[in-house]
Amino acid sequence: MDALFNRRPPSVWERFQSSPLLFLNRLFYSPSNSSESQRLEKVHIVCISDTHNSHHDQPTLPDGDILIHAGDLTVSGTQHELDSVLSWLNSQPHPHKFFIAGNHDSCLADPETHQRISSAYPALTYLQESSAQVSIRGRTLRIYGSPYTPKHGSWVFQYPRVHNAWSSASEPPTSESNRIWSRIPSLTDILVTHGPPLAHLDLDRAGCYALLTALWRVRPRLHVFGHIHAGRGVEFVKWDNAQKAYEDVCAGRAGWSGLIRLVWWRMVGWLWKGNGEDGIIMVNAASVGGFKDDQRKGAIVVRL
């Protein structure tokens, strides 16, 4: 699993060799990286994740209304590391600043740390399976944050990975992952998690199927995450039959028949241009990359 978090993105040929089915599935799916709502709306959200103590080496953060850090602020999770990055976040000029923990941020697993940082860094809002609400130019946005990811090593904020999720119809309703993601309020505009959902900006299907299922239930307008460094990017995804077919192939719930369904629904979408389906902007804002995370990529800005 370590290779998933730190390796370079695979080449086109490597992706095809690994799985022709998944390669073609992704090719025909081809989500957009922009949306009509991005061009029309006015709330600027600056997204960053996985700084891993590199905050002072990152490019200057762009201006915006909301700043979101999606976890892995530190490398070893020490209090010294945390104070350094929180001081940096606290000094940023954005009117509203939110952050969650990642699996590296072990000091944030201590409730006493939460009390200390709330008084030491009053400009920051820490979310740990909790919500906040902001009003910007007459608009109200509800934000929910959670640090949890499928288990990898002995880090914090983890739940057991369901290894047979791709071949089963769904995870057991009593699984820990389903319990965690069932806590997301149905009225959530911006979801912040440390890890990605399955099939979206998660490289080799390293995302969580239970989180993907929760997205279909809640349907937030924006989902910000990181964790899989080589998955960095932006997708605009519609809640439509093509997306469902694509995800079924990625989850192992459908094979070549799923690819045929995807192509069919893509053709229907092209014929009926603009079918009115709502969508979600997904952002993997991991800010380090390259071999051994030697690249500094900065933040990603979306308009909501």
Q: What is the tens place of the pLDDT at every residue in 189-214? A: 999 999 999 999 998 789 999 999 99
State the average pLDDT over residues 78-104: 98
Which tokens belong to 164?
């047979």
For residues 48 and 75, what is the distance between their CA atoms, to the nearest angstrom? 16
Which tokens belong to 177?
């992952």
SS3 label, residue 40: helix
Q: What is the pLDDT of residue 255?
A: 75
State the average pLDDT over residues 31-59: 80
Q: What is the pLDDT of residue 38?
A: 45
Q: What is the pLDDT of residue 249?
A: 85
Q: What is the pLDDT of residue 37?
A: 46
pLDDT tens string 219-228: 999 999 999 9
State the average pLDDT over residues 36-64: 87
| Dihedral of alpha carbons 83, 84, 87, 88, sign | negative
User: Who's near 37: CB < 8 A, 6+ residues apart?
Assistant: 221, 279, 281, 303, 304
- Comparison of pLDDT for 173 and 268, the residue scoring more: 268
For residues 255 and 189, what is the distance between their CA atoms, to the nearest angstrom? 33
Weakest-pLDDT range from 23-37, 38-52, 106-120, 137-151:
23-37
Weakest-pLDDT range from 131-135, 175-179, 183-187, 249-253:
249-253
- Comparison of pLDDT for 146 and 26, the residue scoring more: 146
pLDDT tens string 243-266: 898 888 888 877 787 778 878 878
243: alpha, beta or left, given left = phi > 0 and alpha = psi -120 to 50? alpha
Residue 288's Cβ-count burial label (10 Å; 0-12, 13-18, 19+) is buried
Weakest-pLDDT range from 29-33, 37-41, 205-209:
37-41
Segments making up each domain of the chain, as ranges: 2-303
Weakest-pLDDT range from 18-22, 50-54, 62-66:
18-22
For residues 183 and 130, what is the distance between their CA atoms, to the nearest angstrom? 9
Question: Predicted confidence band at 236 (pLDDT cuts at 50, 70, 90)?
Answer: very high
DSSP symbol at 80: H
For residues 109 and 23, what is the distance between their CA atoms, to the nearest angstrom? 39
Distances (CA, A) of 104 to 71, 73, 160, 227: 8, 8, 17, 10
Q: What is the pLDDT of residue 168?
A: 44
Q: What is the pLDDT of residue 40?
A: 41
Q: What is the pLDDT of residue 139?
A: 94
Looking at the chain, the number of H-run helices and the number of E-run strands are 10, 15
Contact 285, 192 (CB under 8 A): no
Q: What is the pLDDT of residue 163?
A: 58
For residues 29 and 99, what is the distance between their CA atoms, to the nearest angstrom? 31
CATH topology of domain 2-303: Purple Acid Phosphatase; chain A, domain 2 (3.60.21)
Weakest-pLDDT range from 142-151, 225-234, 285-294:
285-294
Does the pLDDT of residue 36 top 70, yes or no? no
State the average pLDDT over residues 235-245: 91
SS3 label, residue 178: helix
How many residues are there in the chain? 304
State the average pLDDT over residues 84-99: 99
Q: What is the pLDDT of residue 167?
A: 41
Weakest-pLDDT range from 37-41, 69-73, 101-105:
37-41
Q: What is the pLDDT of residue 17?
A: 61
Nearest to 179 by CA among 164, 196, 194, 159: 159
State the average pLDDT over residues 275-286: 85
